[in-house]
Structure 1
Amino acid sequence: MARPRYPAPYALLHLALRFISSGLCIATLASASYATSRGGYGTGMVGAFIASILTMMVDLAEISGLVDPARDVPRFTETTIVYLEMIVVAICGIVPVMVLMAYTGLQRNDCEERRSRVECDAEERAREDVEVYVFLAWLLPLCLVGLHILFSVLGCFDCFQRRGRTPSPRPRRTRR
């Protein structure tokens, strides 16, 4: 049996959560872009860009399958979506945090070795202006982790619900 689509209430829940996830991805891209352009966090925001783009691809593929009235766009199978959600959870939870931590640690040590203290202080003041956006670019992927864990649970629920509906195989006949 096919997974539910747009008019069904369960599909509306999926659709609403996917739109929230896409909105969080756009907010992550916006905050990472601002931190990159205004604060010089270009390399440090690579993880946020990767995580939000990957998450948006999974979300938009599932949204297009949910809202297609002609059912021409196939939805992912339950197991595929659970695996994709786990990949998204791993990448959103690890990549932005590790890249930003490595970048900020290397940048502060590198600044004092290569340039004067006055230049380093001026750069640090410029970075403090965009600190909120850097924090958002780090926090929003972690919010996406929580949301996609919920999607994984819903995908497992779909698997078990579908398994309960499928008829059991016929018993084999034995030869005498």
Structure 2
Amino acid sequence: TSTERGWLIPTSGNPDYDEALDRLLSQWMRNVSGLSAGMVRPRWQKEQPPLLPVETNWCAFGVIGWSGDDSPAFTRQTDDGSQLWRHETIECMASFYGPAGMVYASRFRDGLSVPQNNAALNALGLSLGDYTGLTPFPELINQQWVRRYDMTVRLRRKVVREYGIKSLVEAPVIFFGD
């Protein structure tokens, strides 16, 4: 706590990062695009699964940017601690592959604008910032051209961390003078 010397670390848990964030994003992208279970995969995995056949429709995604605002706020001061609030932007690239890649990519893009889909995203602690258009980006895999359509989506979330910063309730003060 702040009543002792040394560094302070959060006393609360963390939001989803790393693999937990990948699972959250995969679930969201699968539900909005309509791709089947297992067909939305993190782009970078510890153990890379084999490539899917050319005739399979699927999506690879990955977090390519992650920033926090430059002005975190300390709020909710109590006797036990204080909360730090910061807003993060998570930039995610999605690549849709397969013979119907354009169908799934455009379905995902259009689904981003549906209020009910955004409400479900908000329930996961995220909100839609903005997104780019679709970019055709065919890829040569195993001597075969595979259809690929890329887009970038920026999501935002509020991160709240609690720190043991005690409130100042009394301080020894001596007044001088008349």
Which TM-score applies when normalising by structure 2? 0.31
Relative contact order (alpha carbons < 8 A, sep ≥ 6): 1 or 2 greater? 1
Higher strand share: 2
The TM-score with structure 1 as length reference comes to 0.31
- Greater helix share, structure number: 1
